[in-house]
Amino acid sequence: MFPKLFDIGPLTVYSYGVLLAAAYLGGLQFALVRARNRGLDAARVMDLGIYIIVSALVGAKLLLVIVDADHFLREPADLLSLARSGGVFYGGLILAVVVGLWYVRKHQLPTWRVADVIAPGIAFGHVVGRIGCFLAGCCYGHETTVPWAVTFTNPLAQENVGTPLGVPLHPTQLYEAGAEAIILGLLLAVEHKGRPFPGRTFWGYMLVYGLSRFVIEFFRGDPRGMVLPNISTSQFISLLIVPLSVAMLYWLSRRDRGAVSVSAPSARPRTAKA
């Protein structure tokens, strides 16, 4: 597609880098608006967002190195190319969650309320980021004959990320962008439905994203590491995250129900009047 936007002298501006920055900044702004609307400390949420952005970048690249360890051991010079790659989303998500939990505990913020504020921002950022993947040609799909297949022709895409040229492929980048857009819509639509409890939006996101990622991985054609035969690293992580999300949703709903029961005033017997 369009891996390179333009050159400024010796500096090349890549479409993926621009959209990745837009994804992080857009997701952060979305979270800040939600934080203010819910009476949370926006300054703390801003600081948390910066921690999350940095840890997400580091975690995504770290998991990429782990998944492609054999390649980087054979070609250590390719480690320099990490500056042009986004890495593995799950690596960024996991490290961001760990750092985020540390931050909210340190500053005594309401953990699951903050997580609920941030979750839709993650989904929004992921939509934008996957469009960047599509423009760069990375995270491409298997060869296919479906009518909506895409064919990449830009040599820069093959040079940067190994995209096959002249071959119709599943547009897995758009599959995931579309799935994230649907997830974002669902999160916002059901956020106040039923009996909401702190943590429902965040763990609902983790659950539905884990399911969608597991399915989309079957259509991916890029090398990304296999943990088991026909099970990629991201699918294996999904197999861990999905049941964990179900367990957390169940536990948090029960805990919230118990808290409501304890805080509810006890009924006092009426005194008969003479």
Quote the longest CA-to-CA distance of the chain. Answer: 95
Residue 190: Cβ within 10 Å count: 13
Q: Any residues with CB less than 8 A from the CB of 206 and at least 6 apart, and which?
A: 241, 244, 245
141 burial level (CB within 10 Å; 0-12, 13-18, 19+) = buried
194 burial level (CB within 10 Å; 0-12, 13-18, 19+) = exposed
| Token pair recorded at residue 119 | 């979750």
Q: Any residues with CB less than 8 A from the CB of 73 and at least 6 apart, and which?
A: none
Q: What whole-number distance in Å separates Cα of residue 158 and Cα of residue 245?
A: 37
Q: For residue 34, say whether it is annotated as part of any ligand binding site.
A: no
Q: Any residues with CB less than 8 A from the CB of 172 and at least 6 apart, and which?
A: 139, 140, 141, 216, 219, 220, 221
Residue numbers belonging to the annotated binding site: 130
